[in-house]
Amino acid sequence: MDVEIISKKNIKPASPTPLHLRSYSLSAWDNFPHMYVPGVLFYLNNNKDITPINFFPIISSDTLTRYYPFARKVNDDLSYIDCNDEGVYYVETKVSYDLKEFLSQPDVQLIQQLTPNNPRPLESMSGNYVILVQVNIFHYDVIIISTCTSHKLVDAAIFGAFMNAWSQAAARDSLDVGLNLSFIAPSSLPPNSTYLCKWPFRASGKSEYVTRRFIFHGTSLVALRAKAASISLVQYPISVEAVALFWICIKLVFMTLTLDKESPRGTFFAIQKTLHEWMKSFGQLGVIEEELGDVVVDEFGDAKVEPAGEFVAVDS
């Protein structure tokens, strides 16, 4: 896959940050999540008159005015974010590859080429950007926007609000629509401390992670749903329920095989729906395996999954 960098820049807020907001202190709670969280969004470019190279920097600049701590870096001792309007790290690329072919590839390492050149998730964040953005253009009809955000400042709710504000700006809507944000955590939570600032992400030592992506074609999902219906109380299981049951069976087998070993593994899986109407024949299941030496990790060991109650909303 050929990924060509078109431009690389820092996007600054449309207006400067007021002097009294230039230093955003990190609370004691902010020092726990030592990680960067990636995100990938897929869009169809239905308006051929709009070129991302001229469009995205403008709307990003407007959005950053409201989310002023995002356009900064974490200082060296991890105690605060220096709001000096340095800007968000921003990259645009042109990808000479068919998106449908890309999604059909099981190699998860390919997605790394479409994400910003960010630090490893467990590395120190000192001197690093709060948020990094990369816009990938597939033949100018499909756009993939990937982000990498510091969990010290950005959680799922804030990330969703930021992306909604960004999309509102792209649609030429008012930026006043949405959440009325107030970054008041430093004044509401306990102050920072040297001890917490240097606390490692995990006290158990080095961790190793392995990621795999499994693709279920439409015909396989139909057969899997029929099989799941024959062995469960759900008469018409949806695709998500069938895949969830499939993974539970795999985990039970894995737990049996590793019963006598010293280092059982904890697992986390994510199920993603199809991206577009023309991609209905594909489904994805991503798996992250974690091995922690002598530490036993099984956060979901005794969890009972009720597909009809827990997973039906995902497919609605």
H/E segment holding residue 272: strand 266-272
Read off the DSSP letter of residue 17. P
SS3 of 162, please? helix
pLDDT in tens, the chain (316 residues): 788 888 888 887 777 777 776 666 766 666 655 677 888 888 777 766 656 555 666 666 777 777 777 777 766 555 666 666 677 888 888 888 777 777 777 677 778 888 887 544 444 444 677 888 898 888 757 888 888 888 777 777 778 888 887 777 766 655 454 455 666 555 555 555 544 444 444 444 455 666 677 777 778 878 878 887 877 667 777 777 777 777 788 778 777 776 655 555 666 666 555 444 444 333 333 333 333 333 333 333 333 333 333 333 333 3
d(CA 58, CA 13): 9
d(CA 60, CA 147): 13
Question: How far from 108 is each of 41, 105, 215, CA to CA, in Å?
Answer: 16, 8, 11
Which residue segments constitute the domains of the chain, with CATH numbers given?
Answer: 2-197 (3.30.559.10), 208-315 (no CATH)
